Amino acid sequence: IGYFAQFSAEDYFLANHFLTRGWKCVISAHPALQNSLSPSLTHFRARLRRWYQLRTNVNPLLIFLEPTTDCFLNAFLMSLSLSVLLPRLINPMVYFLCQILLWFLLDYCLLCYMH
């Protein structure tokens, strides 16, 4: 078990090790609490940065798939809903493109702020 202490997500790598050996893993009904000791903006930004590095190291494909699952799917569903609920008030394609543009701009602002 000491070998896995060198990794950032030791629980992931430990579970992956057990699964490759044929063991069964069960998710607990009682999740671990992860409250920060000092809830400040600096600690929050550091935690977000570590979480991003961890996610990109564990699965680099997420960098490309996450916008597809979040941004595009939400924009598509909302534009589809608007086309049904308010067909003459808002053009769904304009809404779709505006939401994607706004999402990317806000992500860029957050990225600039984090770095």
Q: Are 8 and 58 a contacting pair, CB within 8 Å? A: no
Phi, psi angle pair for 90, to nearest 5° = -130, 130
DSSP for 47-96 reads: HHHHHHHHHHHH-TTHHHHHHIIIIIHHHHHHHHHHHHH-TTTS-HHHHH
Catalytic site residue from 3, 8, 10, 11: 11
Q: How far apart are CA 95 and CA 82, in angstroms?
A: 9
> What is the sign of the dihedral through the CA atoms of 69, 53, 7 and 36?
negative
Q: Is 11 annotated in the active site?
A: yes
| Active site members | 11
